[in-house]
Structure 1
Amino acid sequence: MADITAIILTKNEEVNIVDCIRSISGIVKRIVVVDSYSNDKTVELARREGAEVYQHSFENYAKQYNYAIEKAIVRTVWTLRIDADERLTEESAVELDRLCEENMSSNVSGIVLRFKKNFLGKNLYHGGVYPWRKMNCYKTKAGKIEDRFMDEHIILSFGTTVEMKSDSLHYDFKTLEYFISKHNWYSSRETVDYFERIEKKNNLRTVALKTYLKMNVYYKLPMGLRSHIYYLYRYYLRLGFLDGKEGKIYAFLQAYWYRYLVDAKIYECQKSGLRYSGKGSLKE
C-alpha cells in the first residue's frame, strides 16, 4: 500500500461512490470525501466503505478541493485527486501503487493518469478524447490546485511528471438530460473564469499550458468560428467519426452546445454588463 491520501468531492453520487472507493481502497492509506450536502445516500455509502466524510457548501471545485486538503490535514507523501465517476482498474491500481513507491525520493512529483471516457454506453477512442490525461496524483508538498472556476488543474511547484501506461475508467455520462444540464452549469462557470483570466492576464508561468492556449489562442478566434473549428478538429482531424453515432453526438454537443453556449454567455455579459456568479453546485 502506497503512502497516498485520496480526495473525492461529491454531490449526489450514490451510483458511483462505492465503485470509486473500492477501486482505490487497496492502494491508499486514507480516503477523504468532501460532500456538498447530497440528498441521496452518498454520505452513508462512503462512510460504510471506510471513507472519512466531511460536508461543506460548494462554491467551485478549486475552493472545495482546498477545503478538503485543509480539513484532512494531509501528511502522506502522495495525494490522489479522483472524482466519484472515475475508478482505477486492477491494472492501473497496481501501476499507480508501484509508481508511487518507486518515486518516493525521486524528482518525479506528479503522475499522469489515463482515462477511457464512456459516453452513451460506449468507450470513445477518437476525437482527441482518448486517452483523457489528468495529472491527478502528486506529491503533497509539490502540488496546488489552480484558483479558477473551470478546468482547474493541479500545478507542481517542483519536480517532473511520469505518465501511466494502463487505463483507468471515467463514467461521467448519466443521461443526455443530465449532460445538457451539467454543461449549462459548466458554461456559466467558464464564463466567470474567462473574465477573471482577462483581468488577471495570466501567462504560462502561472497557469497550466491548456489554460494558456485556451486564453491566448482559442479565445482570440472570432466568436462562433472557434466552436465550428473545434468541431471540425475533433470530428474530422482527430477522427471522431470513427466512434460512430456516439462520437458524432459527443463532438456535436461539445462544440455546438457547450463551446458555443460559452461564447453566447460571454457575448451576453459584454453586451448587457451581466456577470454570472459561477457559484454553487449543480442543481439536479
Structure 2
Amino acid sequence: MADVSVIILTHNEEKHIARCLQSLHPFTDKVFIVDSFSTDRTVEIARSLGATVVQNPWVNYAIQFNYGIDNTPFKTAWLMRMDADEYVLPELAEEINQRLVTLSEDISGIYVKRRVLFFDKWIRHGSYYPIWLLRLWRRQQGICEETWMDEHIKLSQGKSIQFQHDLVDHNLNDLTWWTQKHNNYAIREVIDLLNIKYNFDKTQRVEPKLFGSQEQRIRYLKIQYASLPLFTRPFLYFFYRYFVRLGFLDGQKGLIWHFLQGLWYRFLVDAKMFEVYFHAGRDKQAIIQFFRTHYGKDLSPNNRP
C-alpha cells in the first residue's frame, strides 16, 4: 500500500461513508475521521470499516480540517483530503499505489480530477469537468487556507504535479437537502465576496493568477466576479456556463444542475448581499457588526473565519 493517510470530515454521512472508505482500501488502511457529533450511524459504520474516529466541535471547514492535520495519529509521508460523499475510482487508487513512491523530493503536492455526478449523471460540460483539486500533499507541507468559502490546500514549499485519474463527487441526498445546504453556503459566499472589497481578515490565501493552477485561476476570476453589478453577474455566469461552455449538452439533469448551482445559488448570494447593504449600508464596521449580531460571525481583522 501507498505511504498515505486520508483525512475526512463527517457529520451525518451514513449514506456515503462506507462507499468512501471502501474506495480507499486498495491503497491505504490509514483513515482519520474528524466527526462533528453525528446523530446517525456515521461513526459506527466508519469504525467498523477500520477508520480512526475522533469527535470535535464544528467551527468551520478550514479549522476542522486543520485540526485533522494537526491531530492525525498516522505519521505517513503523504496526506490526502477526501469528502465523505466522494469516492476514489479504482484507476486512481492504482495510480496512487504505483506512482507515489516514484516521486522526487521536490514534488510536494498532487492534483487529481474530480467528476461530479448529479442524479447519477456525470456533469461533463459547463466548465465543470475536469475540476483539478490539490488532494495529496507531503506531511507538514500543506494546510487548509482559512477562508469562508472554497477552501483549498495551500502548499508551503515544493512543486505540484497532476495525476491522470479521477475521484467522484456523488451526493445521494435529495434536492431539499441540497437547497438547504446551499442556502447555508450562501452567507459564507457573501462574506467571501465582501472580504475581497473590505479585507476583513489578514489570512494568506491562494495567490490569484489567471494562468496559474485551477484554484489560483478560480480565485482570480472570483475577484473579477465580485466587481460586477449585483443581480447581473448571476445571469452572465449562467449564460457563460450553459451556452458558451456547452452546459446544455448535459441534458435535462444538467439543466437542473447548471440552473440551480450556476444561477439560483448565485442569485441567492446576491440577494443576501443586498440584504446586508440594506440593513448595514456599505460602512465596513457596520457590516462587521451586522454579521456579529445577525449571524454570530465575527469578521474583525485577524480573526479566524
Give the TM-score normalised by structure 2.
0.85
For the residues of structure 1 that align with 2:132 and 2:93, how far apart are their CA atoms? 16
The range that moved more, 164-173 or 244-253, is 164-173
What value does the CA root-mean-square deviation take over the aligned residues?
Answer: 2.0
For the residues of structure 2 that align with 1:59 and 1:139, how far apart are their CA atoms? 25
Aligned equivalent of 2:216, options 196, 209, 215: 209
| Counterpart contact for 2:116–2:123, Cα < 8 Å | yes
Residue 78 of structure 1 corresponds to 78
- The alpha-carbon deviation at position 256 of structure 1 amounts to 2.5
Q: Deviations over 1:189-240 (max 9, x none)?
A: 2222333443338787656514532442010011111111110111011111
For the residues of structure 2 that align with 1:96 and 1:245, how far apart are their CA atoms? 35
Residue 56 of structure 1 corresponds to 56
Residue 187 of structure 1 corresponds to 186
Residue 178 of structure 1 corresponds to 177
Instruction: Give ranges in structure 2 of 5+ residues lacking alignment.
Output: 209-214, 281-289, 299-305
For the residues of structure 1 that align with 2:224 and 2:251, how far apart are their CA atoms? 30
The range that moved more, 14-23 or 188-197, is 188-197
Residue 20 of structure 1 corresponds to 20
| Counterpart contact for 1:66–1:145, Cα < 8 Å | yes
| Counterpart contact for 1:3–1:29, Cα < 8 Å | no
Q: 1:192 to 1:113 in 2, by over 3 A?
A: same
Residue 138 of structure 2 corresponds to 139
Q: Map of 1:61-210 to 2, 5 A cutoff?
A: 61-103=61-103, 105-200=104-199, 206=207, 208-210=215-217
For the residues of structure 2 that align with 1:205 and 1:134, how far apart are their CA atoms? 13
| Counterpart contact for 1:190–1:262, Cα < 8 Å | yes
| Counterpart contact for 2:247–2:254, Cα < 8 Å | yes
For the residues of structure 1 that align with 2:219 and 2:140, how far apart are their CA atoms? 24
Q: Deviations over 1:66-101 (max 9, x none)?
A: 111122155321110001111111111011222321
For the residues of structure 1 that align with 2:223 and 2:262, how far apart are their CA atoms? 19
For the residues of structure 2 that align with 1:278 and 1:235, how far apart are their CA atoms? 34
Give the TM-score normalised by structure 1.
0.91
Matched residue SS, 1:5: strand
- Paired AA for residue 138 in structure 1: W
- The alpha-carbon deviation at position 29 of structure 1 amounts to 4.8
- The alpha-carbon deviation at position 26 of structure 1 amounts to 2.5
Report percent identity of matched pairs: 37
Q: 1:205 to 1:82 in 2, by over 3 A?
A: closer
Residue 240 of structure 2 corresponds to 233
| Counterpart contact for 1:189–1:278, Cα < 8 Å | no
- Which structure has more relative contact order (CA 8 Å, sep 6+)? It is 1
| Counterpart contact for 1:60–1:278, Cα < 8 Å | no
For the residues of structure 2 that align with 1:58 and 1:210, how far apart are their CA atoms? 29
Q: 1:22 to 1:91 in 2, by over 3 A?
A: same
Residue 42 of structure 2 corresponds to 42
Instruction: Give ranges in structure 1 of 5+ residues lacking alignment.
Output: 280-284
| Counterpart contact for 1:116–1:131, Cα < 8 Å | yes
- The alpha-carbon deviation at position 117 of structure 1 amounts to 0.7
For the residues of structure 1 that align with 2:259 and 2:65, how far apart are their CA atoms? 31
Matched residue SS, 1:111: strand
- The alpha-carbon deviation at position 30 of structure 1 amounts to 1.6
